[in-house]
Structure 1
Amino acid sequence: MLVHRALPYATRGEFALTAVPYLRAGCRAGDAVVVVSAPDTAALLRERLGAGTAARVEFIDSADWFQGPMHALAAYHDRTRADWWPRGRVRLLAEPVWDGLTPLETREWKRHEAILNVAFGGTPTSIMCAYDASALPGHVLADAARTHPEIAGPDGVRPSERFTDPSAFYAECNAVPLPPPPPDAARKAFAAGELPGLRGFLGAEALRLGLPDDRSLPFVLAVNEVATNIIRQGGGRGSLWVWAEEGGLVCDVSDPGRALTDRFLGYAPPRGQRSGEAVMWAVRRLCHIVEIRSGADGTRIRMHVRFG
């Protein structure tokens, strides 16, 4: 069964009073115990745990792990199945990196916390997410109480009175409208038989807009997967727009002939022969952030790829 807790703290000492017993309990139980944090936090925990106990904990640098919401979610999926669950229960202590994020990235990290409740529901997983109350914006702390069923602290664990159903929280994130493509965005329509030309167009735009070579192929593959799925499973034809914005490249794909019903599409590995799940799982992993808006007028899928 999933346990998902927020750990708001005001001081490093307060953080350690909750985190250290949590980690010690996992070591005693024989769990796979993992800490994803900044190096200074890892050093604090190693000191408080002692060398013997700390040696049983896997420490991961948060700067590497939290490169993006989907990057982190995919890493959780990969490592739990390959390394952690085979050893029994996994017990994670993680402190996401909130500094330097755009409003879009901040919203998607909040969505990520809500999705963890769905993606790992019913699995042998404990996740405690630390939040520095002395440094983080109030809205981040407020939404931590909405995306975590429980709140942990030195006095114990209590249910979060503000916890929100993940579907409702997800819908709130999607209530933010996607702004239209800028006037100078390059546009191209596509239909059956036109995918080779579409891939050539995407490659040329990636080059023109300065996307590095090592990111151009994932970008083209992601958009091609979405366009192929629209042709085969959606309305049969669509349009897309490509443009650069600060820090990356954006491609907006429109499918006027279909509305999607699976709100969590692509956030978990595909089950069986469900092509839509497989496509969006691959697309999300190829991109930094993927936004989906779907309704009576069809579906828009907006893919963000970072320059660096």
Structure 2
Amino acid sequence: MTFMHQGLLFAHEHRFRAVAGGWLQTAVASGRPAVLAVAPHRSARLLAALPPRVAHEVRVLDRDTLYDAPGRMLAALHRLVLAHAPARVTVVAEPPSGNGPDPAPREWRRLEAVLSTALDGSALDLLCVHDICTLSAAARTTVHTTHPVLIGAGGPHANHAYLGPGAHSARSRSPSPLPLTGPVHRVEIGQSLPRLRRELTALGASLELDPVQADGLVVAVNELAANVLEHGAGKGSISLWRSYDRWVCEVFDEAGLLTDPLAGYRPADDLRSRGYGLWITRQTCDFLEICGDSCGSLVRLHFLDRSTEPEPSARDTRISR
């Protein structure tokens, strides 16, 4: 089985409906599961244009739910493939536009870049559709560098601009500065993980974190702390603080051995305890950044507060390492 990852850049809706509709009709005609996850208005018009028997067989997923976070999106695709095995699944999906401040655009770029290896061997055909009217020049370049096959006027063709996972695998020495809107809470990583979990649980309760996020924080940091104890320096520190629209948690390991920003995305990583821990961590937070140098590794976790809009006028105190 070979995973197929193709991209479509379109400027007109009829172009999108022609290509995406063709994918879905081919899948249904072959008796394969067909999944659609695009903007609601686009989904409704496409389904209305399909033959009723085809539209009835298409499973529609909420686009924002599928693209909730890079780690969770990848896990969702894995679950989709496993749920329909051994049948081959066809998915037509519309990724985020890639606009806005980092880390979101950068981490979505990394996910797109790593998909061909992360899903290698999966019985999945994935068509990523991109409305060029909503994309910046940088985002359009990303589409070209992260999709091995593009669909042009003459159909699918090998994309010679494709760069593979290496295009977005450079590790930064430190994450981008973020506004700090409250105190920094620190916890040391010791030899007792149960004690660490209790301290984090108590801290989350005292800060009145959302219960789901508080649980995710404990799970994610526990996995990262275990890596520090088992594979790193054996000691490190945790910092938790509030920014405009999110809680930010940083886990620092003095050893600096975690060097791959794509760790935790690829199935091969699951065979190693470090990769498996990062696989779990990527699903419990919204964004995960891996930074550092020979002096230490820093993993920054973002837990978005989706009920709060960013406030550019808020106090712009920044934290960085």
Question: What are the equivalent positions in structure 2 for 1:1-308 lying under 5 Å apart?
Answer: 1-83=2-84, 85-87=85-87, 89-98=88-97, 101-171=100-170, 174-175=171-172, 177-179=174-176, 184-193=183-192, 195-260=193-258, 264-268=262-266, 274-308=272-306
Name the CA distance, whole Å, in 2 between partners of 1:168 and 1:191.
36
Equivalent residues of 2:35, 2:58 under 8 A apart: yes
Name the CA distance, whole Å, in 1 between partners of 2:29 and 2:48.
18
Name the CA distance, whole Å, in 2 between partners of 1:180 and 1:201.
27
Name the CA distance, whole Å, in 2 between partners of 1:272 and 1:76.
16
1:121 Cα shift? 1.9
For structure 2, which runs of at least 5 residues remain unmatched after alignment?
A: 307-321
Matched letter for residue 253 of structure 2: D
Secondary structure in 2 aligned to 1:162?
A: coil
Comparing 140-149 and 59-68, the one that deviates more: 59-68
Matched letter for residue 43 of structure 1: A
Rate the CA distance shift 1:138–1:9 in 2: closer, same or farther, 3 A.
same
1:53 Cα shift? 1.2
For structure 1, which runs of at least 5 residues remain unmatched after alignment?
A: none
Deviations 1:271-297 (A, max 9, x none): 776321221111111111111124422
* Pairs aligned (count): 303
Equivalent residues of 1:187, 1:241 under 8 A apart: yes
Equivalent residues of 2:81, 2:123 under 8 A apart: no
1:116 Cα shift? 0.8
Name the CA distance, whole Å, in 2 between partners of 1:160 and 1:198.
48
Rate the CA distance shift 1:201–1:151 in 2: closer, same or farther, 3 A.
same
Equivalent residues of 2:97, 2:134 under 8 A apart: no
Matched letter for residue 276 of structure 1: R
Name the CA distance, whole Å, in 2 between partners of 1:150 and 1:78.
24
Equivalent residues of 2:28, 2:57 under 8 A apart: yes
Matched letter for residue 18 of structure 2: L
Secondary structure in 1 aligned to 2:103?
A: helix
Equivalent residues of 1:62, 1:97 under 8 A apart: no
Deviations 1:219-260 (A, max 9, x none): 122112211221133211111211111221111111112413
Rate the CA distance shift 1:294–1:30 in 2: closer, same or farther, 3 A.
farther
Matched letter for residue 86 of structure 1: P
Deviations 1:98-138 (A, max 9, x none): 38754211111111111111111233221110110112222
Equivalent residues of 1:222, 1:286 under 8 A apart: yes
TM-score of the aligned structures, taking structure 2 as reference length: 0.86
1:208 Cα shift? 4.5
Comparing 249-258 and 154-163, the one that deviates more: 154-163
1:9 Cα shift? 0.5
Name the CA distance, whole Å, in 2 between partners of 1:68 and 1:263.
16
- What percentage of aligned pairs have identical amino acids? 30
Equivalent residues of 2:145, 2:167 under 8 A apart: no
Equivalent residues of 1:205, 1:242 under 8 A apart: no
Name the CA distance, whole Å, in 1 between partners of 2:202 and 2:222.
14
Name the CA distance, whole Å, in 2 between partners of 1:261 and 1:177.
12
Name the CA distance, whole Å, in 1 between partners of 2:12 and 2:67.
22
